[in-house]
Amino acid sequence: MFDISWTEAATEELSRIWINAHPEDRELITQTVNDIEVALTKAADTVGESRFDNDRILIVSHIAIQYRVWADQREAVVTNIWRTTGPANP
């Protein structure tokens, strides 16, 4: 299990994404972020795609995150979040 945290900037961007979303998409965004948190908690060091150093990217249902993981400390920090094209639903 990994401890997951979010930078203030990532949290603020998630809020902007949710506020600017169509009302019908908000529940899907919330569920997608919950799914991302579950995946990171279980295996932050292996989900998504590896980038530079400890950085990784994960895309789930039109939501993408960039995060940094420290496997030996069982910690991960979400540093960026954005919507990919399309609605939040798969």
CATH for 28 = 3.30.2310.20
Residue 89 forms part of a structural domain: no
pLDDT at 24: 87
Q: What is the pTM of this model?
A: 0.88
Instruction: Answer for the pair 77, 66: CB distance below 8 angstroms, yes or no.
Output: no
- Residue 23 is part of which domain span? 3-83
pLDDT at 90: 44
Question: In 3D, which of 53, 44, 60, 31 has the Cα closest to residue 5?
Answer: 44
Instruction: Answer for the pair 31, 25: CB distance below 8 angstroms, yes or no.
Output: no
Number of domains in the chain: 1
Query: How many Cβ atoms from other residues are within 10 Å of residue 52's Cβ?
Result: 7
Per-residue pLDDT of the chain (90 residues; tens, 9 = 90+): 999 999 999 999 999 999 999 998 999 999 999 999 999 999 999 999 999 889 999 999 889 999 999 999 999 999 999 999 755 444
Residue 41 forms part of a structural domain: yes
